[in-house]
C-alpha cells in the first residue's frame, strides 16, 4: 500500500462536512459537533508528526474525532465515559458495511488492536440494529452504513426528508440505549 501524506491545508474543504455529519450523528448538538470538528483539526495538526501514512487522511481524522466524541461523553456523563469504545479496522468489516469506520493507530493507546473487544462491539451493534423496527433499521442502514444521500433514500422509500431524519434520530437513540444496556 502506498504511504499517504497529510495535507492540512485541504482538511476543511475535503473533510469538514463529513466530520461534522459524523459528530452531529453521535452528539445530536450542532454547536458541540462544530467544536469537536475544530478540536479534531487542531489535534491533527498537533499530532501530525505521529502520522505514519498507513491510513488515509480522512480515516486518521475520523479516529481523532471518535476520541473527541468519547471525551465529550466522559465529561457529561461519567457512566458513558467509563467504557471507552475501541473500534478497529478491517477491510472485511468495512466491506460488510459496518457503520463504525476504520480506526488508525493511536500512539497513546495500548488497546487499539483489541480484536476480541472489537468483535464483541460489532456483535452488540448488529444485535441492536436487528432490534430496531424494520423501516428504522432500513433507513438507518441506508444513510449511516451505506452512506446514501438523503434525497436518494427519500425517493427510494417514498418519504420526505423530515420523516427520514426523525427515523434516523429514533434509530440512533434506540441504538445508544441498546448499547448502553448490552455493551457499556
Give the pLDDT confidence of 81-93 residue by residue, as tens digits: 344 443 333 333 3
Q: What is the pLDDT of residue 11?
A: 92
Residues of each domain in the chain carrying CATH 1.10.10.10: 115-184
Beta-carbon contacts of residue 30 (< 8 Å; ≥ 6 apart): 24
Please write the tens of the pLDDT for every residue from 22-33. Answer: 888 888 788 999
Q: What is the largest CA-CA distance in the chain?
A: 48
Q: What is the pLDDT of residue 85?
A: 41
C-alpha cell at 167: 427515523
Long-range contacts formed by 24-31: CB under 8 A, 24+ apart = 25/144, 25/168, 25/172, 26/69, 26/172, 27/69, 27/72, 28/169, 28/172
- In the CATH hierarchy, which top-level class contains the domain 115-184? mainly alpha
C-alpha 174/C-alpha 29 separation (Å) is 17
Query: pLDDT band at 3, cuts 50/70/90?
Result: low
Under CATH, what is the fold of the domain 1-113?
Rna Polymerase Sigma Factor; Chain: A (1.10.1740)
Note the pTM of the prediction, 2 decimals.
0.44
Amino acid at each position: 500500500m502506498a504511504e499517504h501524506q497529510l495535507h492540512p491545508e485541504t482538511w476543511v474543504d475535503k473533510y469538514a462536512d463529513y466530520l461534522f455529519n459524523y459528530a452531529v450523528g453521535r452528539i445530536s448538538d450542532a454547536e458541540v459537533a462544530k467544536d469537536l470538528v475544530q478540536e479534531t483539526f487542531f489535534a491533527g495538526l498537533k499530532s501530525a508528526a505521529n502520522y505514519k501514512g498507513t491510513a488515509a487522511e480522512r480515516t486518521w481524522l475520523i479516529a481523532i474525532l471518535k476520541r473527541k466524541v468519547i471525551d465529550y461523553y466522559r465529561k457529561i456523563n461519567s457512566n458513558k465515559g467509563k467504557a471507552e469504545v475501541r473500534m478497529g479496522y478491517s477491510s472485511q468489516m468495512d466491506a460488510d458495511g459496518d457503520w463504525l469506520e476504520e480506526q488508525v493507530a493511536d500512539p497513546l493507546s495500548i488497546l487499539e488492536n483489541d480484536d476480541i473487544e472489537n468483535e464483541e462491539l460489532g456483535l452488540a451493534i448488529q444485535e441492536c440494529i436487528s432490534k430496531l423496527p424494520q423501516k428504522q433499521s432500513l433507513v438507518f442502514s441506508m444513510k449511516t452504513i451505506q452512506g446514501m444521500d438523503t434525497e436518494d433514500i427519500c425517493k427510494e422509500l417514498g418519504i420526505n426528508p423530515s420523516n427520514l431524519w426523525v427515523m434516523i434520530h429514533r434509530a440512533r437513540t434506540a441504538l445508544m440505549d441498546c448499547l448502553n444496556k448490552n455493551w457499556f
